[in-house]
Amino acid sequence: PIAVKKICCIGAGYVGGPTMAMIAKQCPHIQVTVVDINQQRIDEWNSEELPIYEPGLHEIVSECRGKNLTFTTDVDETIRDADMVFISVNTPTKTFGVGAGRAANLEFVEKCARKIAEVSIGHKIVVEKSTLPVRTAEAVKTILSNSTTGASFDVLSNPEFLAEGTAVEDLISPDRVLIGGENETAINALVEVYANWVPRERLLTTNLWSSELSKLTANAFLAQRVSSINAISALCEATGADVDEVSTAIGTDSRIGPKFLKASVGFGGSCFQKDILNLVYLCEYFGLPEVAQYWEQVVTMNDHQKQRFVNRMVRTMFNTVSDKRIAIWGFAFKKDTNDIRESAAIYVCRDLLMEKAKLAIYDPQVKPEQMRAALESVMQDENGELNAMKRELLDNNVQYCDNGAAAADDAHAIAVLTEWDEFKDCDFEAIRDSMKQPAFVFDGRNLLKHADLCDKGFTYFGIGF
């Protein structure tokens, strides 16, 4: 058996940071070093203001940093020293060339494999932690087998299932940990790492390809549930049914289950859309166009949901939002994270800006410069340029506020785009008095109390009723 003593993780992002902090906390006998080529990110991991916000993460990092958890840009040395190397770099959707807009961009993963091949000595277990297309391990193995240093390698797939906002909880007690591989000894080495805190019956081992494919499949199924309930929300709005009641009614069927049935303004985050598009691309690549179309519809429905939300706002507000101040409550793709990648808020704000609305945006964790950069990037043309009209809208029609009430001050409407808890506890009477009348609320998360807001004189619209 191989007892792992030193772990290197390449990629100090939303996955690499929290997962390695958890391994360090649960395995005091293992030295865990997280490396990244981004100096600023590493500096932030070494500071009091971590680069990512996750409840409970700061405490764990503070406890382990300086003991058995290190963040550094010293990539080569750390790989060389380690028994086990996790690849946890980003695998975004390709924006150029073959498969643009669908396939995963694997350049960062390949660069890691080449770096490992170049600097390793002795034996290493290389673990794919990033979400990858099925059969990527084959490419990783080929690259490693061309190493000229005499090093030998095993490759495992160990996809990560944590969700942002609950990363610490998810890592402490995962539903399962999936480990795919070919070599029993290598699989066992990783099993023993997790067995320090995860019950053994939750450690699932499979072949490499099942493990790689299970990750894309899990995200596709989860996203499909959200798109399915969102599709039904449109029918509810047309018929007088209430989508939250429908969710409860179907979710109590134990075969369906209650989770991931919350209708919303649309799913966001760095994973769902990217992973489904990747699955679609793989199906096309392997000659399965009907299967590809089936899954692509999940993304199409999600885009439709975001557009539907904006259309309903404009229609309700007498067919014009031009020059009207609209409070945007929440910009993150879900609560308890500062991540805005693919957040529905980006697209809703863009479309409202194109209607010449004046946006007053507030999010408790997202910095104004992050929001500005995201809006700029979705308003650019294909050459990466902003025309004068769009620049003017971004400069003059967007204000970043310090709290929800300030954003709502003098506004025609509030659009709730992230389900932050603090929005539930606002002084709605004072907010109503500060707004233009009728005071509209468009609740993209069905977060606020519908009847209560109507009693207080708001004109309230949720999703799916």
Binding residues for substrate: 160-164, 215-219, 255, 262-268, 333-334, 445
Q: Report CA 12 to chain centroid distance, whole Å.
A: 15
Give the binding range for ligand UDX (CB under 6 A) out of 50-58, 254-262, 280-288, 351-359: 254-262
162, 179, 317, 328: which one contacts ligand NAD (CB under 6 A)? 162
Residue tagged active-site, from 27, 112, 271, 349: 271
Instruction: Say if residue 142 is exposed, middle or buried (CB neighbours under 10 Å; 0-12, 13-18, 19+).
Output: exposed
Buried b / exposed e across 21-48, counting CB within 10 Å, b at 16+? bbbbbbbeebbbbbbbeeeebbebbeee
Nearest-approach distance from CB 387 to ligand NAD, in angstroms? 29
Number of residues located near ligand UDX, criterion CB under 6 A:
19
226, 298, 313, 407: which one contacts ligand UDX (CB under 6 A)? 226
Buried b / exposed e across 355-390, counting CB within 10 Å, b at 16+? bebbbbbbbbbbeeebbeebbeeebeeeeeebeeeb
Residue numbers belonging to the annotated binding site:
11-16, 36, 41, 89-93, 130-131, 160-164, 215-219, 255, 262-268, 271-274, 333-334, 341, 445
- By a kind-dependent CB cut-off of 5 to 8 A, residue 91 interacts, out of ligand UDX, ligand NAD, none, with ligand NAD
Interaction pattern, residues 256-285, with ligand UDX; x per rule: CB under 6 A: ----xxx-x--xxx-xx-------------
Separation between Cα atoms, residue 176 and residue 170, nearest integer Å: 10
Residue numbers belonging to the annotated binding site for NAD(+):
11-16, 36, 41, 89-93, 130-131, 164, 271-274, 341
Separation between Cα atoms, residue 82 and residue 197, nearest integer Å: 22
Does residue 271 have an active-site annotation? yes
Give the binding range for ligand NAD (CB under 6 A) out of 86-94, 117-125, 135-143, 447-455: 86-94
444 neighbors 309 (Cβ within 8 angstroms): yes
Instruction: Reduce the DSSP state of residue 281 to 3 states and report it.
Output: helix
Taking phi over 0 as left and psi of -120 to 50 as alpha, with beta for the rest, 7 belongs to beta
Which residue has its beta carbon closest to ligand NAD?
13
3-state percent breakdown (helix, strand, coil) of the chain, nearest 5: 45, 15, 40
Nearest-approach distance from CB 81 to ligand NAD, in angstroms? 16
130, 158, 219, 338: which one contacts ligand UDX (CB under 6 A)? 219
Separation between Cα atoms, residue 318 and residue 146, nearest integer Å: 66
Q: In Å, what is the CA distance from 168 to each residue of 17, 23, 174, 247, 433?
A: 11, 11, 10, 28, 40
**Residue 90, interface with ligand NAD (CB under 6 A)?**
yes
83, 164, 170, 336: which one contacts ligand NAD (CB under 6 A)? 164
Name 179's bridge partners.
205
Nearest-approach distance from CB 261 to ligand UDX, in angstroms? 6
Rounded to 5 degrees, what are φ and ψ at 188?
Answer: -65, -35
**135-194 binders of ligand UDX (CB under 6 A):** 160-164
Separation between Cα atoms, residue 282 and residue 295, nearest integer Å: 11
H or E segment at 72? strand 69-72
For residues 36 and 296, which CB has a smaller minimum distance to ligand NAD in the complex?
A: 36
**Residue 11, interface with ligand NAD (CB under 6 A)?**
yes
- By a kind-dependent CB cut-off of 5 to 8 A, residue 428 interacts, out of ligand UDX, ligand NAD, none, with none
End-to-end CA distance of the chain: 59
Separation between Cα atoms, residue 430 and residue 403, nearest integer Å: 14
Nearest-approach distance from CB 386 to ligand UDX, in angstroms? 26
15, 348, 431, 435: which one contacts ligand NAD (CB under 6 A)? 15
Nearest-approach distance from CB 80 to ligand UDX, in angstroms? 30
H or E segment at 459? strand 458-461
For residues 17 and 355, which CB has a smaller minimum distance to ligand UDX in the complex?
A: 17
Rounded to 5 degrees, what are φ and ψ at 41?
Answer: -65, -45
> Which residues bind to ligand UDX, rule: CB under 6 A?
160-164, 219, 222, 226, 260-262, 264, 267-269, 271-272, 333-334
> Which residues bind to ligand NAD, rule: CB under 6 A?
10-16, 35-38, 41, 75, 88-91, 108, 111-112, 130-131, 160, 162, 164, 270-271
Query: Catalytic site residues?
Result: 271
